[in-house]
């Protein structure tokens, strides 16, 4: 692929006309840029010249396209070998650049899986989220963490495979509680032979690959054999495993014999808003569903939204063999070709018209309609609340971005500042930020913590985001009273950001909810009526900021507690630390060890042993 960048003093349609003359009649991707160089729109084309020329027509454009053309100040082009390459690149750029005029998939969280690891001599069964780099068999994706946790618990009862980490496994000297409650066969202490454990792993692998009937038949045969031999304890174990297997099949909604590996995608489109429902079927099991509300302009059709959604949704996710869609997509052939090329297997799009699969699509459609109706109602309520916030605080317009701050610490230790963001669509969790307090001068000084957090947050905003108004808050809430507000105001004055409204939210007497006082600069403090919906909304914002800050603080404190004294010694990495702990049993025993004992540890040289000994005995190295 080759890239060329065109810059010219012309703007809008005149600029586009000039670019057409230099474009090849070949596949590629084009980007329309505004005056600050940010992407307005990313598009693909089978023929770049013809596609870009279409923007120079004097008529036939929607208002959205006309606004986009008028705002264009520059264009960039990437030529590709095929239209398929252009489609893959377009989806990648849209997710990375988030252009204003593209359909945007706002939820980009990775899905959880159940992984049967294959990188240890004793494989483990556990929940996995993120890139699929570890060797093993993946079962999923699941629509939620709750669904994967319930299924994992049941699978542990069926197959009795370990779920502990390799470090915990290596350090066990007696079976853990999971063995006692019959959810693990305890290979760590030899309660099961290697051969028998390998049989359990093979059974689990069969199940993950969709061969449920063979696994159930195998368990039935084991139960019958044990019963015939009057080994009633073994028969009871097999019986319990059969019951658990039946439960996990029912829990996952397995009654879809005609659907092995497929995603069902349906869109509901009304009033310029859309909801896309995705149902996941793997190994014939329904692993749940998730609703998405992509951002797009009101004049974009449901086919355009659905096609753009699918391209971005599968940009960095595994694609099943079959994708059932609620509408026949004009670009389904190109999408299937691109995904097949990326996955190395045949991908098929189907818009079923008859048979049992139609019911699946209709079910997804019904869920999409209901979710869209709920979202529209919630959005209307949210707009009313934001209007009430503007009236309560004397803002010129309802705020589109509210940033809320809270700090957390324990007697001055593990100090954390938290910032949450909310807008018309609710909490914007991918915009949350946490700040590890760096200042050590006044541990536990809330004012000093607030000054540092505001200086870092808005200093960076003033330096790096000056040309991105969408990243600037319309309202900033601070957990605290007049003192915290004054500190925040001083920082904003120093940075030249006096125009951003600041409000301090102080808890009522005895920290009673509903009796909060609000503080603003150059205004007397005040309270809102106890039954005010705006007050409840502001309480939710404050509580969310408190939840985020204290959660970050606890996570930091937990990490510090887990740190070993061995981590403080230069030259002691994970391997040497593991060798020392395996040899002595604990960090405290290492601390008490003599130099001669340290030198006996495998992997610890005399030099490193001396360094460890000197560290714990206050000798100069």
Q: Give CA–CA dist 27/49, Å, rounded.
A: 9
456 or 105, greater pLDDT:
456
Q: Which residues contact 86 (CB under 8 A, 6 or more apart)?
A: 27, 28, 29, 44, 45, 46, 80
6 strand-pairing partners: 75
- Using DSSP, state whether 132 is helix, strand or coil: coil
- Interacting residues of 243 by C-beta distance below 8 A, sequence separation 6+: none
Q: What is the pLDDT of residue 563?
A: 60
Say whether pLDDT at 253 is over 50.
no
C-beta of residue 621 within 8 angstroms of C-beta of residue 611? yes
Could you tell me which of 406, 465, 462, 467 has the C-alpha nearest to residue 433? 406
**DSSP label at residue 295:** B
The tokens for 11 are 């703007």
Residue 210 confidence (pLDDT): 64
Summarize pLDDT for 335-390 with one digit per residue, the tens. 999 899 888 889 999 998 887 788 889 888 988 888 888 787 777 788 889 999 99
Structure-model confidence comparison of residues 35 and 247, the more confident one: 35
Q: How confident is the model at residue 442 (pLDDT cuts 50, 70, 90)?
A: low
Contacts for 336-341: CB closer than 8 Å, 24+ residues apart: 337/84, 338/84, 338/87, 338/88, 338/311, 339/314, 341/84, 341/88
Segment 167-195 mean pLDDT = 86
Over 90: is that where the pLDDT of 267 sits? yes
Torsion, Cα of 571, 573, 575, 580 (10° steps): 70
CA–CA separation, 415 and 437 (whole Å): 5
- At 377 the pLDDT is 75
* Winning range, highest mean pLDDT, from 23-37, 242-256, 456-470: 23-37
User: What is the C-alpha to C-alpha distance for residues 147 and 285, in angstroms, rounded to an integer?
Assistant: 12
- pLDDT tens track for 88-120: 888 888 888 888 888 887 765 678 888 888 888
Q: What are phi and psi of 155, to 5 degrees?
A: -65, -35
pLDDT given for residue 248 in this prediction = 56
Mean pLDDT for the stretch of residues 563-580: 75
CA gap 534, 540 in Å, rounded: 10
Contact in structure between 551 and 429 (CB atoms under 8 Å): no
Sign of the four-CA dihedral 298, 302, 303, 307 = positive
Cα 403–Cα 406–Cα 410 angle in degrees, nearest 5: 160
Q: What is the pTM of this model?
A: 0.62
Strands, sheet with 39-45, edge to edge from the N-terminal-most edge strand: 2-6, 74-79, 28-33, 39-45
Q: Are 33 and 72 in contact (CB under 8 A)?
A: yes
Calculate what percentage of the chain has a pLDDT beyond 90. 14
Q: How many CA atoms lie within 13 A of 72 on its CB side?
A: 31
Structural domains for the chain: 2-97 (3.40.1440.10), 112-251 (no CATH), 262-373 (3.30.420), 402-560 (3.30.420.340), 565-616 (1.10.150.20)
Count CB-CB contacts under 10 A for residue 480. Answer: 22
Does residue 159 surpass a pLDDT of 90?
no
Convert the pLDDT of each residue in 34-56 to its tens digit: 888 888 999 999 999 999 999 99
Cα radius of gyration rounded to whole Å, the chain: 30
């Amino acid at each position: 692929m080759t890239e060329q960048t065109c810059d010219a003093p012309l703007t809008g349609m005149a600029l586009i006309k000039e670019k057409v003359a230099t474009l090849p009649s070949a596949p590629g991707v084009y980007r329309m840029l505004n005056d600050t160089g940010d992407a307005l729109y990313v598009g693909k084309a089978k023929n770049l010249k013809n596609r870009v020329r279409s923007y120079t027509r004097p008529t036939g454009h929607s208002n959205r396209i006309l606004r986009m053309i008028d705002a264009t100040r520059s264009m960039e082009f990437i030529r590709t070998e095929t239209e398929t390459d252009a489609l893959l690149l377009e989806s990648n750029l849209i997710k990375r650049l988030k252009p204003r005029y593209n359909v945007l998939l706002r939820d980009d969280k990775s899905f959880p899986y159940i992984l049967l690891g294959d990188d240890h001599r004793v494989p483990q069964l556990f929940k996995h989220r993120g890139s699929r780099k570890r060797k093993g068999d993946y079962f999923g994706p699941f629509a939620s963490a709750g669904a994967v946790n319930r299924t994992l618990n049941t699978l542990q009862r069926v197959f009795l495979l370990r779920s502990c980490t390799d470090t915990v496994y290596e350090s066990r000297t007696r079976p853990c509680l999971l063995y006692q409650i019959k959810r693990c066969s305890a290979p760590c202490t030899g309660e099961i032979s290697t051969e028998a454990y390998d049989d359990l792993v093979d059974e689990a692998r069969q199940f993950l690959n969709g061969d449920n009937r063979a696994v159930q038949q195998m368990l039935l045969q084991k139960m019958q054999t044990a019963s015939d031999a009057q080994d009633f304890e073994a028969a009871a174990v097999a019986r319990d495993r059969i019951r658990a297997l039946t439960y996990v099949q029912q829990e996952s909604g397995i009654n879809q014999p005609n659907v092995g590996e497929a995603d069902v995608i349906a869109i509901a489109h009304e009033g310029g808003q859309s909801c896309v429902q995705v149902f996941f079927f793997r190994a014939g099991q329904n692993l749940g569903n998730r609703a998405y509300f992509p951002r797009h302009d009101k004049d974009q059709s449901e086919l355009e939204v659905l096609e753009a959604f699918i391209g971005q949704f599968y940009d960095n996710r595994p694609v099943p063999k079959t994708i059932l869609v609620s509408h026949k997509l004009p670009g389904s052939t190109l999408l299937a070709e691109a995904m097949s090329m990326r996955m190395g297997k045949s991908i098929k799009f189907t818009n079923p018209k008859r048979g049992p699969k139609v019911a699946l699509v209709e079910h997804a459609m019904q869920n999409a309609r209901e979710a869209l109706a709920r979202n529209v109602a919630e959005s209307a309520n949210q707009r009313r609340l934001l209007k009430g916030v503007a009236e309560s605080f004397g803002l010129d317009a309802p705020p589109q971005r509210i940033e809320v701050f809270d700090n957390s610490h324990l007697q001055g230790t593990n100090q954390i500042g938290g910032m949450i963001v909310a807008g018309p669509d609710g909490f914007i969790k991918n915009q949350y930020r946490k700040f590890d307090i760096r200042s050590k001068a006044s541990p536990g000084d809330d004012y000093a913590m607030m000054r540092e957090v505001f200086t870092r947050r808005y200093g960076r905003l003033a330096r790096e985001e000056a040309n991105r108004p969408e990243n600037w808050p319309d309202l900033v809430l601070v957990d605290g009273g007049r003192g915290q507000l004054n500190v925040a105001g001083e920082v904003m004055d120093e940075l030249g950001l006096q125009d951003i409204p600041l409000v301090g939210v102080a808890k009522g007497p005895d920290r009673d909810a509903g009796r909060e006082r609000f503080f603003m600069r150059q205004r007397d403090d005040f309270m809102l009526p106890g039954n005010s919906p705006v007050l409840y909304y502001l309480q939710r914002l404050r509580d969310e900021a408190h939840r985020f800050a204290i959660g970050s603080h606890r996570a930091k404190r937990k990490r510090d507690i887990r740190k070993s004294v061995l981590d403080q010694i230069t030259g002691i990495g994970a391997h040497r630390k593991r060798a020392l702990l395996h040899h002595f049993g604990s960090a405290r025993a290492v601390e008490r060890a003599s130099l001669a004992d340290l030198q006996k540890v495998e992997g610890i040289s005399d030099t490193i042993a001396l360094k460890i000994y000197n560290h714990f005995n206050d000798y100069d190295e």
